[in-house]
Structure 1
Amino acid sequence: MKYIIYLVEDEENLNQLLTSYLKKEGWEVYSFLNGSEAHNNITKKPHLWILDIMLPDIDGYQIIREIKAFSPDIPVIFISARDADLDRIVGLEMGSDDYLPKPFLPRELVIRCRKILERTYEKSLNATSENYIHLPPYTINTDTRSVHKEKQLIELTSKEFDLLCIFAENPGKAFTREQIIEQVWGIDYYGTDRVVDDLLRRLRKKTPEIRIETIYGFGYRLVSS
């Protein structure tokens, strides 16, 4: 699976040069020349954003704010020709993972991209810790409470993750709705048990390859593939 990188750089020649270097690494690169184009693609979730701070319309600070609000786990590299110390500090405070002041060598950007991609995706997927549950094609990290399909992060809510772990840690075991409510919502929950059905529906939509079977009149269980 190719990494997908979004590059936002308003200097057209530099944009083309950086895009060329990034594509040589085998990555799928989409480049934008202004903040508006980037803003229109925030919901598409690449593996990495490379973001110039000085843009002709929407500045990089506003873009990273929206990126992190929508998907806080996606890494961002800031690039800028402005005051390096100030931009680095502000960028880190807003959630950037790295900062590269202009001018820089394109190869340095490639190296920094590779390190961030490996740190964010590959190391977590290749780990053999007891905190990992392998439920092909998904890998569940109970320590960071994250789920990946190959190298793609699956965005789950806290309760969706808890429900997934109940089944992943107990393949083949049947659970009643009451048992699920106690483990996910707690013993003090008051309300209809149909909340389980709604939560499971959302989980199935996000992880369609996982087979959770409905046992009519009883509850649910994970079916081994």
Structure 2
Amino acid sequence: MIRILLADDEAMIRAGVKAILAADAELEVVAEAADGRQAVDLAISHHPDVVLLDIRMPVLDGLGAAAEIRRAAPGCAVVMLTTFGEDDYIAKALDVGASGFLLKSGDPRELLAGVHAVAAGAAYLSPKVAQRVITQLSGGRMSAGARARDRLGVLTDREREVLALVGAGLSNAEIARRLHIVEGTVKAYVSTILTRLDVRNRVQAAIIAHEAGLVA
């Protein structure tokens, strides 16, 4: 069972998201918060597997809550719930360690897929969000692609192969099965990749993989 903390200051949004999650027997909402400070406190007390955070909340916004949760409860994967027009917030959330980004107006299947992905240790970007993040961070796709490909020069062929699968949203267990290696070896590869690319998390690594053309 994947245990979820849902944080949004709008009760109707929480109800809608909770209803979607309830359709999956493997997901359980164990706590709800109406502001960022509550979210941090509940994450520490409940130790959920996944925290779904609205970016804009009172008392403490989603960015501040995500940063505190990642420090105080590093075992919790953080997924940001966002709307279009919040590109600056998304870029900043990458820096505080968010593992995924989902559109509130997106397909409900993306919500379920995203929760499962981050709970399994993978990164997940809603496709429309991913395009906006890449564009916002890159300042132009061609130049971003060139920079990303240049950064890949520090990786071995095997590490590039693993990075491509990270970019495709696969978890460590799925990568291990695909490459016919043990999961511990995949974890070691991912750790090395993050260090060599000088990025904090799988989301940032996945963006580089997309920019460099490793992911179709």
| Distance in structure 2 (CA, Å) of the matches to 1:94 and 1:142 | 22
Q: Is the 8 A contact 2:173 2:183 kept in 1?
A: no
Q: Is the 8 A contact 2:63 2:89 kept in 1?
A: no
Q: Is the 8 A contact 1:81 1:101 kept in 2?
A: yes
| Distance in structure 1 (CA, Å) of the matches to 2:72 and 2:86 | 27
The answer for the alignment partner of 1:117 in structure 2 is 119
| Distance in structure 2 (CA, Å) of the matches to 1:92 and 1:73 | 17
Instruction: Pick the structure with greater CA Rg.
Output: 1
The answer for the alignment partner of 1:38 in structure 2 is 39
| Distance in structure 2 (CA, Å) of the matches to 1:73 and 1:57 | 24
| Distance in structure 1 (CA, Å) of the matches to 2:183 and 2:51 | 29
More strand by share: 1
- Percent identity, please: 22
Aligned runs of 1:152-167 on 2, under 5 Å?
A: none
The offset of 1:82, in angstroms, is 6.3
More helix by share: 2
Aligned runs of 1:1-225 on 2, under 5 Å?
A: 2-26=1-25, 27-29=27-29, 30-43=31-44, 44-81=46-83, 83-120=85-122, 123-124=171-172, 127=176, 129=181, 132=184
| Distance in structure 1 (CA, Å) of the matches to 2:37 and 2:183 | 41
Q: 1:20 to 1:101 in 2, by over 3 A?
A: closer
- 1:57-79 deviation line (CA, Å, top 9, x unaligned): 21111111111112334321111
The offset of 1:117, in angstroms, is 2.4
The offset of 1:144, in angstroms, is 7.6
The answer for the alignment partner of 1:153 in structure 2 is none
The offset of 1:107, in angstroms, is 3.0
What TM-score do the two structures reach when normalised by structure 1? 0.51
Q: Is the 8 A contact 1:34 1:58 kept in 2?
A: yes
The offset of 1:39, in angstroms, is 2.3
| Distance in structure 1 (CA, Å) of the matches to 2:190 and 2:55 | 30
* Equivalent pairs, count: 137
| Distance in structure 2 (CA, Å) of the matches to 1:132 and 1:106 | 32
Runs of 4+ residues deviating >6 angstroms: 141-145
Amino acid at match of 1:6: L
SS of the aligned residue for 1:40 comes to: helix
Q: 1:18 to 1:70 in 2, by over 3 A?
A: same
Q: 1:84 to 1:102 in 2, by over 3 A?
A: farther
